[in-house]
Amino acid sequence: MSILLTLYYEFFKIGLFAVGGGMATIPFLNALIDKFHWFDAAMLADMIAISESTPGPIGINMATFTGYTVASFAGGVIATLGLITPSIIVIIIIAQVLKKFKESAAVQAMFYGLRPAVAGLIAAAGLSIFAVTLVDTAAYQTSGNLMDLFQWLPILLFLILLYCTNKYKKHPIFYISICAVIGILLKL
């Protein structure tokens, strides 16, 4: 029971503080790793991939996935409900004063500060996912050879992907499926 309460509370907090949509929840999920050790950075990357390639808002999918990982079916439902509760409360309050809110200088000023910070937060969360995917600290520590620190094949694939995603604006599902096939063929 207490684990479900913890889940609800943690995702309520995420729903309350993650401003800017689905991707903005990633830094908070990453913070859960250090706090509870419910999952690791590699699993977080898997959850992001699956959440991007299945129907529904990414943020919701990730909450359900995380909740399931922690406490099975009930966990998935509770985490999702926790995430949406603050939205429902906040939006219902704002709905009464929509016009005022939209034109409020204070709201715009707060967002002026929030926008770059959210980008920084996602960059910080990306760091730990990059670390498990593109570097191999274990190999470096055993061999002491700096060349072993980098996983060259994934890095090469990463650079090719950066080029392709920016040149051909295809849906993320496309790149995710291609990478799954490449992963199997190259035994990454």
Partner 1 sequence: MKELADLFVTFAKMGLFTFGGGYAMLPLLEREVVDNKKWATKEEIMDYYAVGQCTPGIIAVNVSTFVGYYQKGIAGGIIATLGVVFPSIVIILLIASLIQGFSHIAVVQYALSGIRVAVCALIFNAIVSLSKSGVKDVYGILLFLFAFVMVGILKLSPVYVVVVSALCGLLIKKIQGGKK
Query: Two tokens at 96?
Result: 């009464």
**Least distance in Å: CB of 2 to partner 1?**
21
Cβ neighbors of 54 (< 8 A, separation 6 or more) are: 61
**Least distance in Å: CB of 155 to partner 1?**
9
Helix axes 152-167, 172-186, angle to 10 degrees: 150
**Least distance in Å: CB of 55 to partner 1?**
5
Q: Based on CB atoms, which residue is closest to partner 1, 58 or 144?
A: 58
**Least distance in Å: CB of 137 to partner 1?**
16
Q: Among 41, 45, 83, 49, which Cα is nearest to 64's? A: 83
Strand, helix or coil at 52? helix
